[in-house]
Structure 1
Amino acid sequence: MFYFMTVRFFHTSDWHLGQFFYNHSRHYEHEQFLAWLLEQIKQKQPHALLIAGDIFDVINPSSQAQKQLYQFLADTHELAPHMQTLMIAGNHDSGYRIEQVEPLLAKYNAKTVGVIRWNEDNTLDLERLILPIYDEQKQIVAWCIALPFLRSAEITGFNEHTTNSQNAIAYLHQQLIEEAKRRKTDEQALILISHAHMQGGETSDSERPIIIGNEEALSTSLFDDSIDYVALGHLHKPQKVGQDHIRYSGSPIPLSFSEINYKHQVVEVTIDPSKIDEKFTFQALHIPRTVDLFHIEDPLEQVFIELKALEKGEIPNIDQRHYVFIEYSTTIPPQPNLRQQFEDALPKDRYRLVRISRQYLSNENNAENKQTIHLEPPTPEKLFQQIWEKKGYHADEEVTKDFLSLVNEAQKKLEDDQSS
């Protein structure tokens, strides 16, 4: 006779610790988020915290960003000693770097999976990728398949099942799911945590494209019906993909102005294997936003009116002031001191004007003649498209995918060089 056991865990991802937003540190915002999350952990005492990749914003995070993570892990362990923290590397992380501190993580009941590893006989090292989750009595209540961001060089060329990225990805999922099913019992749940772009997911402009073998988005058909919950990372908008139990938690703070309206959250998940229907339930724990983003898009004269109407009240610490993006339209060239005019119109010491974009309108106000001028450097993809089109070619989808695949391989080589 056995007893079914309920597992409760938090799903979060895409923290991007150490991010600079238009050269402004997000350290304060992340501190506020982590303090809020600590309070949720203290109150709810989950069995596990799953962090689905992009823990840091860059592969070589600052000492301040690393300290922020490790202090959080120490604090969580003090508040909930039984809780396990399971982390995977995202495409912004160095998988090798985050695995280097395993002895430290073990002291805080934390585990990280950064890279896919293979045995000497070219079989997949399954042991590191299938992790047990325990309850307060040290009973296994669930098994978690941990899949970090999959880089082509780490998954192809090892055996006849990994001749290219597509069949290697399918092979990895099949091997891991089958082994996890062999290990689990009927009273235990099965969870999968992955950092990937899934087909049907809604993106924002702050997410770096991740191309594997010319394929960006993966199919949810990779996930077996036996999996009770799929905890995804990479896309910053909280959303389900196809089915309720396949979800992105989203990022804890807006990472671009396109994410202003996102309802940032941590997903609290409960799985009860004894139930035939509705085994899993979830609750969105909405994260309070401590620093707001304002995007003002109007004719120049109206912009000044809206700036002056913004809420007043000084915020002494510049890291706590709100961000402003102005996108104005005009039929005449702007005055050279326009930025200073914008600054003067803003309520004093409450906002940070981080971006200005001009839309030039013809005198006929013809929308077809409208030109948008952006002051930020172009992304590699946009720069490639501009050069390609100047040569007289059309940068179609396949050409762009090939280019992004080369960019991804170059980034991987840079990460390898810096990790060696």
Structure 2
Amino acid sequence: MRLLHTSDWHLGQSLHNFDRHYEHQRFLDWLLDTIVAEQADALLIAGDIFDNANPSAASQRQLYGFLQQARARAPQLDLVVIAGNHDSPGRLEAPGPLLEAHGTQVVGNVARDAEGAIDVARMVLPLTRHDGSVAAWCLALPFLRPGDVPRVDAGVPDGGADGSSDAEANAARPDPYLAGIAELYRQALAHAQTVCQPGQAIVAMGHCHMVDGQMSQDSERRIVIGGTEMLPAGIFAPPIAYAALGHLHLAQQVGPHQHLRYCGSPIPLSFAEVDYKHQILRIDLDGGAVRDIAPIQVPRAVQLMRVPPRPAALADVLQALAELDVPEAPAEEHPLIEVRVRLDAPEPGLRARIEEALQGKPVRLAKIETSSAARASLEDAAISLDQLDRLKPDDIFRRLYQQKYRSEAPPDQLSAFAELMQP
């Protein structure tokens, strides 16, 4: 059986006010061709389908258009979609009955029955071969919030019962959120084992940040609930042949565990991701085990460029921009560019000078990143709340200027700030 694993599409995302609809559509068109070429049996989409919980009509049309075309071009394909932390679980599940009629199963919420018990069976889904026979079972668990997981008895006695203090007992007590996630996966696995037949595999899906998972600099939204951020690999017990993970945008395996994989985002979602090798993953199952895991590189429809690669003085930056050689292309394929300038003092005409240097070049200026040559230490920046209360706005301005540029604020800057503060 052949699976394709993708995640973190973030449909509807804009990058510094530049819409990414064209790039996403190019990816989806490529994915359709890849599904057919690879003769995939199932497509696993591991969350963050949309960039926010209230996606635009255009983004929703893009998703449902893809699902309709996937069913038309690969009638045998099973599609499984789980919600990520960016998605609205209810909104994602709303068209579920209609989607199920066309081969797509969506799990956005952890469903419960009338008595409040978790409906684990709803999250254990069959995956079938081209001939319709079941080849694997999928634990399709969406992004889990504290209210989604079962309560677990901590199992640690009160402080003092074994000679320990209350603080030591609390430190030894497992985090209830982590314990609840582990218990929900345990319950789902136990149910899968009751329906799994010899020669059938068990795979899992999750949208989470695993221990040893590498985040990009400024893309993913950190998941911190009750002080808990990262999940241990042990929540995916050995009977699970493969775990299709979402949330982290860099394609990677989790520590030494080759069967625990993030496929990463299909397009760069920030300039921190310009060097990522964006991909989907192809997983071949042989009976109950994984035979092969291979990346399939996603072609990049629009380049993201950082010029220069590291911040430099303005004169050097302007020269690099003037020498920039970019081939002509349709407007929607013009590269998005981040210009990185190191400044020793404010430069009021900075944007105009950069735009002049880029005049006539087929690029789109998305961001100007400035940094100072000298950074103040944390001790220099430290100030008590009592001191802050006694400072006037111009005092704060002087301090911030000194902290950033390591020099006194010039008179014209102070004058302009004073004018700005006039009622």
Do Structure 1 and Structure 2 share a fold, with TM-score over 0.5?
yes
Distance 1:51 1:392 in 2: 51
Structure 1 segment 295-306 matched on structure 2, within 5 A: 295-296=306-307, 297-306=311-320
Query: 1:46: which partner in 2?
Result: 40
Residue 90 of structure 1 corresponds to which residue in structure 2?
Answer: 84
Structure 2 runs not aligned, ≥5 long: 155-173, 388-423
Corresponding residue for residue 244 of structure 2: 231
Q: Do structure 1's residue 73 and structure 2's residue 67 form an aligned pair?
A: yes
Q: Any residues of structure 2 matched to 1:110-189 within 5 Å, and which?
A: 110-155=104-149, 164-189=176-201
Q: Which residue of 2 aligns with 1:338?
A: 350
Pick closer, same or farther for the CA change 1:49–1:356 going to 2, 3 Å: same
Mapped to 1, the partners of 2:6 and 2:84 lie a distance apart of 13
Counterpart for residue 413 of structure 2: none
Contact 1:315-1:349 at 8 Å conserved across structures: no
**1:293 counterpart residue number:** 304
- Quote the Cα distance in structure 2 between the aligned partners of 1:368 and 1:19: 33
Alignment partners' CA distance in 2, 1:220 and 1:51: 20
Deviation track 1:272-309 (CA, whole Å, cap 9, x = no partner) reads 1266xxx3311110001111111122111111111122
Give the 3 Å change call, closer, same or farther, for CA 177–333 of structure 1 in structure 2: same
What displacement does 1:163 show?
9.8
TM-score computed with the length of structure 2 as normaliser: 0.81
Q: How many residues align?
A: 361
Please give the secondary structure, in 1, of the residue aligned with 2:121.
coil
Displacement of 1:316 in angstroms is: 4.5
RMSD over aligned CA atoms reads 2.4
Selected match of 1:322 from 335, 353, 357: 335
- Equivalents in 2 of 1:67, 1:247: separation in Å? 29
Counterpart CA distance in 1 for 2:130 and 2:83 is 27
Cα pair 2:124 2:140 within 8 Å, conserved: yes
Give the gaps of 5 or more residues in structure 1.
1-6, 362-366, 372-386, 394-420
Deviation at 1:17, TM superposition (A): 0.3
Residues 156 and 164, structure 1, Cα contact 8 Å, conserved in 2: no
How far apart are the structure 1 equivalents of 2:367 and 2:175?
46
Change (3 A) 1:165 1:369: closer
**Deviations, residues 132-164 of structure 1 (Å, cap 9, x unaligned):** 00111110000000110001123255x868993
Aligned partner (choices 219, 224, 230) of residue 206 of structure 1: 219
**Gap change, CA 1:74 and 1:172, over 3 Å in 2:** same
2: distance between equivalents of 1:339 and 1:51?
40
Conserved? CA contact 1:189–1:273, under 8 Å: yes
Match for residue 277 of structure 2 among 253, 260, 263: 263
Separation in structure 2 between the aligned mates of residue 15 and residue 249 of structure 1, nearest angstrom:
11
Q: Which has the larger radius of gyration?
A: 2
Partner residue, 2:253: 240
C-alpha distance in 1, partners of 2:377/2:313?
13
- Aligned: 1:312 with 2:323: no
Q: Provide the C-alpha distance between the structure 1 equivalents of 2:127 and 2:359, rounded to a whole number of angstroms.
A: 51
**Cα distance between partner residues in 2 of 1:167 and 1:315:** 52
Aligned equivalent of 1:252: 266
Deviations 1:162-184 (A, max 9, x none): 99323211210111111111211
TM-score computed with the length of structure 1 as normaliser: 0.81
Do the aligned residues in 2 keep the contact of 1:132 with 1:140 (CA within 8 Å)? yes
Query: Which residue pairs with 1:35 in the alignment?
Result: 29
Q: How many Å separate the matches in 2 of 1:93 and 1:58?
A: 6
**Among residues 370, 394, 410, which one is paired with 1:358 in the alignment?**
370
Does the Cα contact within 8 Å between 2:178 and 2:231 map onto a contact in 1?
no
Please tell me whether the aligned partners of residues 47 and 85 of structure 2 are also in contact (alpha carbons under 8 angstroms): yes
Q: 1:55 aligned to 49, 55, 61, which one? A: 49
Which amino acid in the other structure matches residue 27 of structure 2? F
Q: Counterpart in 2 of 1:412?
A: none
C-alpha displacement at 1:330, in angstroms?
A: 3.0
Q: Which residue in 1 is equivalent to 2:397?
A: none
Structure 2: distance between partners of 1:97 and 1:113: 11
The percent identity for this pair of structures is 39
Q: Which amino acid aligns with 1:40?
A: T
What secondary structure does 1:78 align onto?
A: helix
CA contact (8 A) 2:214 2:248 kept: yes
**SS of aligned partner of 2:31:** helix
